[in-house]
Structure 1
Amino acid sequence: MRSKLLTVAIAAGLGVTSFSALAATKHQSSQPARVTVDAATLQQLQAQLAALQAQVADLQAKQEAQADAQVETAKAVNDVQVAAAKPTEDLGKKVDKLAKFVNDTKIGGTMFFDLTDMNHKERVGTGREHVVDGHGAVNGTGFDVKRFYLVVDHTFDDIWSANLTTDFSYQSAISSTSLFVKKAYVQGKFDPLFTVRFGAADMPWIPFVEKWYGYRYVENTITDRSFEGGRGTPTVTAGVGAFGNSSDWGIHALGETKGDNSINYQLSVVNGRGYRNLTRSKGVDAEGRIGYSPIEQMVIAIGGYSGKRGLDSDVATFVPTRTASRGDAMIAWRDKTWGVGAEYFHASNWDDILRNGTGTGAPSGPLSIKDKTDGYSAWADWKFYDQFAVFARYDHLNYKYTSPTNIEREIKDKYYNAGVSYDVLKNLKLALVYKHNEMNGPVATPYHYKTNEVGFWGMLSF
């Protein structure tokens, strides 16, 4: 368009020039005359016109070249912008992936700690009581981190997730630390009544009772509380201990419904040695539970355990084994103000899987060492003012075992605690507690002990 306008302007200029020359000729002559242009003038005008046309063509070529350059420049700028935007886009995708991972991953923890003073006394037979360390008790004052659980929970989609929970403990009185993997499982939740976990996960009974009891940070439940002493000699502890595992390696199926008239269940097929001992055996153990809640605040549950506890692995000596078993029952109530409950269990051959009691040599006969235990626990708590509550608990355990000479011996264990708890924060609880534990051993190997402990227990969760 611009070149056409320039051409018109040149042509107009040439016309004006010719008109001026003609006018001048007329002005000089008094008589009209025919205007003639000789050949030289015409040739000169044609040369000028050709020169102007060449200039116009050159200008047009330059304009077209400039337009092409602008197009190439714009293309180059666009390529640079695209190249610059790609790393930003890739970074954005990476940030989105990281944000999704963070949103789908929950990290938390729970710590049980205490600062207490303990007094442990023992006596042998009819002798005098004396202060001595033993049977899981250490005299004096100390700070302990009984448990520190670090939990990582990741959700892959609406069905699949994974959990990793580490278990750390420190006891200052004996300068002992330990670190274990308590839970490590992959979970598929296909329905509220059907969830499957593969790996180390909560067992059906102990964690379930802990939820209704509510004061796990003060004391383990009765099947999980270590019952020390009674077997062996007055100075050497043999046998006895806890009567269950809170977590074990295996396959776990569970489910529940909510509200009134709800049910819950869990069935676990496990190794039998607990989460601290990932071992192999010739068979597997099974533990199950089923519960019913007529109303949301109440539960009635029964459960059981059967297996070799991971001890059926000695194929070299062909030591005969028995099957350990445990039956459980619980009834509990919990609302915003009150909590009350009772638990009972019966166990057979829990310590005497190996029939001769040692795991070596020939068995001593069908009436070799065996054991049976009956225990019950009752607890109650009352939130009497805002963040304050009072609580108490009483356990009684009756343990009997038969010697290789078919003599039955009996050990009785009595435990109770009482205290006041204070919810400092939503995730921080403190309790001032007094505990008493008393064990009376058999007549044949008579030793008895009493343990009194007072102090502060606490739980921090995040």
Structure 2
Amino acid sequence: MSTAASGPAFAQDTGETSTQAEIRKLQEQLQAMQARLQQLEEAQKQRDAVAAQAQAPASESPQLATASPVATAPAAPMVASASQARKSSDTPAWIRNTKISGKAYLNLSSINQKSDGLDTAQNGTQVDLKRFYLSVDHQFDKVFSANLTTDVRYGSHGVSNDTLVYVKKAYLQAKLSPAFVVRVGAADLPWVPFVEGIYGYRYVENVMIDRTKYGTSSDYGVHIGGTFGNGLVSYAVSAIDGLGYKTRSRNSDTLDLSGRISVEPVKNVVLAVGGYTGKLGKSVGGQPDTLHQATRFDALAAYTGSRIRLGAEYFEAHNWNNVTSTAADKSSGWSVFGSYAFTPRISAFGRYDWVNPNQYTNPAAKENYFNAGLSYAVVDGVDLALVYKRDAADNAYVPTSNGVIGGVNHGTYDEFGIWSQIKF
């Protein structure tokens, strides 16, 4: 029987025409192709799983011990994943657990300062490196870690030509729980860094306590803090030598105490109080006894929404500059600040500070400071701000982070320029 005759006879026996038979064969071929494609997709998923397990740390890949994807994966992916695993294991653990970061504050600005009508040495236009922090963080295990942060700045506006280098932070940390973290060494103090985080424009200006020299951001000692209640409450307490991170001395006879407690009663609303008491490192062995105890009370209320940020800070200090003086004194001040984000990258901001530095010894003395500006986040980690600052002091010379402002009768400080923050 010929081949030509067999096709129709078979189609006739099955009740299927030749066209129908061809369609059926095409359908079978399509089903076979789909099954093959599904097999290829499953194999690719297995290869991806093997590669991901090889790259992840062992602590994050518990299924690596069973390695079920490896057992069914083709040979080539197994060789590739083994090579990746060897490459990861060749990196020393101390490198994998160490992080380096940095932050720089720079500005190009013009200053016009007068004291009792006369120009001062700060006047002029200049580029300043206000701060450069370089930090190294190392994680020993889930509990213990260490931090070293250097603080570099150049003398600016004719005040000093020296390059100043400090160790701002150098501490060993034990995080026993989120509610109990202990740091030993030079570390953040309870108040100033906390307010800086809420204010948000530290690269433009120090917060009020730091700007007017009634506190600093870091000191040597033992620091305890944490959060509890799902972030509802946070606290910080420090027992320190009182000299700040820029000065070290082993001769202080006493320890100073500083603390803070804050609550977030509703979302984006922060309320905080804090305090400080001690000799500010001036009670030194072999020297005459200090005559006063320096104390400071702090308070803050703020709203920190994604678009609007508003805050108010208040302080009252007793004998802060009179620890070794016979006369007692009192200082107080308040600050209000705010910002509005037009877009995620463009914001307007402003701030006003009022300080009475000598309520007992010179009641007529006062200082008024404000700034206003527009900021632009160029890329993540780079911020620019166009800023105008104005500071005025009456009947006193007032030390600030911008130099000594004021005069016998009156002094002013005006600065305009571009400020920047670079983080990596």
Shorter-chain TM-score: which interval?
0.7 to 0.9
Find out whether 1:253 has 2:237 as its counterpart: no
**Deviation digits for residues 70-89 of structure 1, max 9, x if unmatched?**
xxxxxxxxxxxxxxxxxxxx
Query: Is the contact between residue 155 and residue 164 of structure 2 (CA under 8 Å) also seen in structure 1?
Result: no
1:446 alignment partner, SS class: strand
Pair 255,350 (structure 1): closer, same or farther in 2 beyond 3 Å: same
Aligned ranges 1:6-405 → 2 under 5 Å? 96=89, 98-123=91-116, 129-133=117-121, 138-174=122-158, 175-226=161-212, 242-257=213-228, 262-280=232-250, 281-316=252-287, 318-355=288-325, 368-400=326-358, 402=360
Instruction: Kindly provide the amino acid, as one letter, of the partner of residue 179 in structure 1.
Output: V
User: Do 1:259 and 1:296's aligned partners in 2 also have CA atoms closer than 8 Å?
Assistant: no
Query: Partner amino acid for 2:423?
Result: S
Contact kept in structure 2, 1:206 and 1:246, CA below 8 Å: yes
Aligned equivalents of 2:207, 2:184: Cα separation in 1: 25
The answer (yes or no) to whether the contact 2:330–2:360 under 8 Å persists in 1 is: no
Identity of aligned residues (%): 40
| 1:45-86 Cα deviation digits (max 9, x unpaired) | xxxxxxxxxxxxxxxxxxxxxxxxxxxxxxxxxxxxxxxxxx
Match of 2:374 among 415, 420, 442: 420
Matched, 1:434 2:388: yes
**How far did 1:96 drift?**
3.4
How many Å separate the matches in 2 of 1:185 and 1:101? 17
Gaps of 5+ in 2: 1-84, 398-406
User: In 1, distance between residues paired with 2:259 and 2:199?
Assistant: 19
Measured on the aligned residues, the alpha-carbon RMSD in Å equals 2.0
1:157-183 CA-to-partner distances (Å, cap 9, x unmatched) read 000000000000013422232000000
How does the TM-score come out when normalised to structure 1? Answer: 0.68
Q: 1:115 to 1:321 in 2, by over 3 A?
A: same
In the TM superposition, what whole-angstrom CA distance separates every residue of 1:346-366 from its partner, at most 9, and x where no partner exists? 0000011113xxxxxxxxxxx
Rate the CA distance shift 1:95–1:426 in 2: closer, same or farther, 3 A. closer
Q: Deviations over 1:303-334 (max 9, x none)?
A: 00000000011424x34421000000001111
8 Å CA contact retained: 1:111, 1:460: yes
Equivalent position amino acid for 1:151 in 2: S
> Where has structure 1 moved over 4 Å in runs of 4 or more?
92-95
CA distance in 1, matches of 2:268, 2:88: 45
Asked if the contact 2:189/2:216 (under 8 Å) is kept, the reply is: yes
Q: Give the Cα–Cα distance (whole angstroms) in 2 for the partners of residues 429 and 161 of structure 1.
A: 30
Report SS of the residue matched to 2:111. strand
The one-letter amino acid paired with 1:132 is: T
Give the deviation of 1:122 after TM superposition.
1.3
Whether the aligned pair in 1 keeps the contact of 2:282 and 2:290 (CA below 8 Å) is: no
Matches of 1:459 and 1:99, distance apart in 2 = 33
Aligned residue for 1:211, secondary structure, equals helix
Matched residues, number: 328
What residue number does 1:33 align with? none
Secondary structure at the counterpart of residue 146 of structure 2: strand
Question: 1:454 corresponds to which letter in structure 2?
Answer: F
Partner of 2:297, secondary structure, is: strand
